[in-house]
Amino acid sequence: MDLAATIASHLLQINAIKLSPQKPFTWASGIQSPIYCDNRIALSFPEVRKAIIDGFVAESKALEPFDVVAGVATAGIPHGALLADALELPFIYVRSKPKGHGRQNQIEGLVKEGARALVVEDLISTGGSAVKAVDALREAGITAAGVLAIFTYGFPEAEAAFQKAGCPFRALSNYDALLSQAAATAYIKEEEVAALSAWRKSPKTWAAGE
């Protein structure tokens, strides 16, 4: 089993990812979605947590060189800190916006101008939060070596966002691997695969059962 399939299998087993094509979830944006992903749950399972960090270590080699790991607040912070520990590198994290008090930092930790940062995010949908973090790092004089994520939906918007930002992006697992594993383990029925695939192609217009 390759890395994408292994991580997808782990996330399904611990219910970090839930698939419900008949009773879709509603995202904050209003989009009806047959999938709900909460990778924070992986932190409570040592075996899964280790598999994710081992995967990050392996995938990070393609984005070298870098000398600091930067987590994207908030979900990317714990995974980024664990990766920094595994790589024996400094860790910083990037807020979605500067604090409204104190030093009003957007980047927390020791920021060294000229450093190269490996950015860690837990989940990529449109890529907006990760690219925003990359922009904040660049404004602080830090180069983004690339972005690592646990899971990506594979939306074209995300691919376009990273390409426009000129930032490499890699994910341990993806939507196609997830559907394959879910079908293989009878988590979903074969006839549900088509509906789930259709959602990824057009999430804004998709409706359950269509």
208 backbone dihedrals φ, ψ, rounded to 5°: -55, 135
State yes or no: 128 annotated in a binding site.
yes
Q: How many CB atoms lie within 10 A of CB 140?
A: 17
Element (H, E) at 152: strand 143-152
Q: Would the annotation count 129 as a binding residue?
A: yes
Residue 124 assigned to a binding site: yes
146 and 167 Cβ atoms separated by less than 8 Å: yes
Q: Is 2 part of any known ligand binding site? A: no
The answer on whether 176 is annotated among ligand-binding residues is no
Residue closest to 170 by CA, chosen among 158, 182, 180, 178? 158
Q: Is 173 known as a binding-site position?
A: no
The response to whether 11 counts as a known ligand-binding position is no
- Which tokens is 205 given? 């217009």
Asked whether residue 126 is marked as a ligand-binding residue, the answer is: yes
Q: What is d(CA 104, CA 81) in angstroms, rounded to the nearest whole number?
A: 22
Residue 76 burial (10 A CB sphere; 0-12, 13-18, 19+): buried
Is 29 marked as binding a ligand? no
Strand, coil or helix: 134 = helix
The reply to whether 79 sits in an annotated binding site is no
| Cβ atoms 108, 92 nearer than 8 A | yes
Q: Is 34 helix (H, G, I), strand (E, B) or coil?
A: coil
Tell whether residue 122 is among the known ligand binding residues: yes
Question: Binding site: which residues?
Answer: 95, 99, 101, 121-129
Question: Binding site for 5-phospho-alpha-D-ribose 1-diphosphate: which residues?
Answer: 95, 99, 101, 121-129
Question: Binding site for orotate: which residues?
Answer: 125
